[in-house]
Structure 1
């Protein structure tokens, strides 16, 4: 039996060796492919997990920026109310001074300046803080990636908590200095747009819409930027206190932020915010007129009411409007505009682009912050 088996093997040894090699090779290939498939599945799973973590981190940054902006709103309101307060002027009017017409004119200018300056200041605040949180979020992500490096040891973090706090504190310059300069710019535009309208002159919603549009064009000075020279309002000069690594890193972050603020995309976002705000002001003024007409209809009766409504169809005297505008545009101003503009897709796209650009782990990509163009 064994001899016969030996003869069969000897006669067909090439075929047998080939078959054994084929089966063995197939087995090894199958093991190799299974291992590669497991590695690929592991990498795909890890990549998916990393994407989820990355998206979750961005959503946290977005929520943090929104809550920060709404918290800082009061920091914008305080200097505006202090500079453009009207209570002292109203107290003077109670004494019936000889210059009461000038006082009413000043009240008119201050009320309209407050309304328009609020739109510009809140738009600047929302746009700046979105950029700042995008930059900080990107650096935090890069720091976490560097801490997880396996080859060559753990890389040191580029920034730290103290640098982040000092960087975000740069917005204080806007509250302490920028808002005052902004009020001066807006006030000049308001005087140019509404200064010629006398207190006895009748005005309607359309007159305010024209005046608001004039202010916007006057401030932009027919340039592509809605507020030329706004950079000096937002950020202070570079830190010069010491020559430490932290100071150099802070200055680098400020310079990178300046570069972003000077882009056409940032001007586009800021312009969108201002347009939304001025449209909101126009609607608020329209509501003021509707409320006044409704009140007159309720207080009048019969032919008297019809005559009253007909007489006000062309508008109201400016002096009669001022108390209503004060309640609507100043006392009644809440955070509605800011909450609305924070939901704009263009503003979300901007922080997403900034965040992704600063998440680049390569220094060259990070420094060049390859920002993707914003969609229209």
Structure 2
């Protein structure tokens, strides 16, 4: 029997060798495939966890940015109000009858300049802070992944203060100067007695925006970042962060985004003014709900100004510029509070502007792209 078995093995030796090689190779291939599958699965899990951590960190950065914007907004409103103060003129108008016409002319310039400044300042505040804090957030996430600490708290503080202080002080003063000079040029040709429709108001804002475009849109950095500041810091990494910030602020995408924000802001102002082309119900002022007198439009609601359904055709209503000025001024004199959403009143221009820019998807997309670049 052993002889037969030996002869069988001898006759089929090659088959046994080949079969053994095939079985061993298959086993090795299966083990290799299983190992690569585990490695792939582990890589997928690591990438998923990393994306999740990065997304959570980005969302946390966005929440911090929103809180910072709302925290800075009251100070920005106060700064604009001080630079374009109308209270002194209003007080003098109540007592001085000799300079009344000159005072009204000055109030005309200030009212339109304040509305314009609110549009530009809020857009620049939101857009620049999104960029600034997402650059910091990206670098902080990279430090966490690489277990390094390139960004110290001192560097963060200096970086934040350099940009915020400039925008809230020198940058805002430059912005107001440019806006005021151009508003005065545009408004000189408009008499206080001139009748204006809502379309005329839109045209004025369009003219103002066009006039200041070459001074503001083409060099936005001057209002956000101090000139040459990124070359004058002792900390090398701080210089790099400031240089990176400058690169983002000077890119075409950021400039185009700000231009879009300015356009949206003027639309908000026009919508607010439009509320006062129709007489408020019960004679109450829509700005604050009290019974303070507002420009009357009762004469405007004649039959030729009504639509077929009996509603007022706002496009046919006109008001003297002298009656629009108090409206423009009142829109920018309301206080902005950030204690809760309930404190953001619907007719508060500052709140409406900042709310519009905070939820702006284009700004959020830019912020996400900035974070992605500097977190890798």
Q: TM-score range by the shorter chain?
A: 0.7 to 0.9
Count of aligned positions? 339
Q: Is the 8 A contact 1:284 1:329 kept in 2?
A: no
Tell me the residue number matched to 1:260. 248
Alignment partners' CA distance in 2, 1:112 and 1:140: 42
Tell me the residue number matched to 1:219. 212
Task: Determine whether 1:101 maps to 2:93.
Answer: no
What TM-score do the two structures reach when normalised by structure 1? 0.83
After superposition, residues 12-91 of structure 1 pair within 5 angstroms as: 12-91=12-91
Deviation at 1:345, TM superposition (A): 2.3
Tell me the residue number matched to 2:362. 346
Deviation at 1:162, TM superposition (A): 2.0
1:285 to 273, 277, 287: 273
Deviation sequence 1:146-169 (CA, Å, 0-9, x none):
22xxxxxxxx43322321221121
What TM-score do the two structures reach when normalised by structure 2? 0.83
1:194 to 175, 187, 190: 187
Q: Is the 8 A contact 1:226 1:267 kept in 2?
A: no
Deviation at 1:58, TM superposition (A): 1.9
Alignment partners' CA distance in 2, 1:108 and 1:37: 73
Deviation at 1:242, TM superposition (A): 6.8
Q: Is the 8 A contact 1:185 1:219 kept in 2?
A: yes
Q: Is the 8 A contact 1:79 1:180 kept in 2?
A: no
Alignment partners' CA distance in 2, 1:239 and 1:39: 44
Task: Determine whether 1:231 maps to 2:221.
Answer: yes
Structure 2 CA distance for partners of 1:98 and 1:233, relative to 1, 3 Å: same
Tell me the residue number matched to 1:150. none
Q: Is the 8 A contact 2:86 2:110 kept in 1?
A: yes
Tell me the residue number matched to 2:326. 323
SS in 2 for 1:227: helix
Tell me the residue number matched to 1:364. none
Tell me the residue number matched to 2:152. 160
Alignment partners' CA distance in 1, 2:20 and 2:220: 80
Alignment partners' CA distance in 2, 1:307 and 1:77: 36
Q: Is the 8 A contact 2:230 2:243 kept in 1?
A: no
Deviation at 1:98, TM superposition (A): 1.3
Structure 2 CA distance for partners of 1:128 and 1:116, relative to 1, 3 Å: same
Deviation sequence 1:63-118 (CA, Å, 0-9, x none):
22222222211121111111222222222122234112111211221111111100
Q: Higher mean Cα deviation, 247-256 or 57-66?
A: 57-66
Tell me the residue number matched to 2:338. none
Deviation at 1:23, TM superposition (A): 1.7
Deviation at 1:231, TM superposition (A): 1.5
Alignment partners' CA distance in 2, 1:253 and 1:129: 14
Deviation sequence 1:313-345 (CA, Å, 0-9, x none):
552222233333332343242412222222222
CA RMSD after TM alignment: 2.6
SS in 2 for 1:123: helix
Q: Which runs of 4+ in 1 moved over 6 A?
A: 239-242
Deviation at 1:268, TM superposition (A): 0.4
Q: Is the 8 A contact 2:205 2:266 kept in 1?
A: yes
Deviation sequence 1:188-242 (CA, Å, 0-9, x none):
1211222222222222212211110000000013xxx852333222112426777
Q: Is the 8 A contact 2:192 2:322 kept in 1?
A: yes
Gaps of 5+ in 1: 148-155, 297-304, 361-376
Q: Is the 8 A contact 1:111 1:330 kept in 2?
A: no
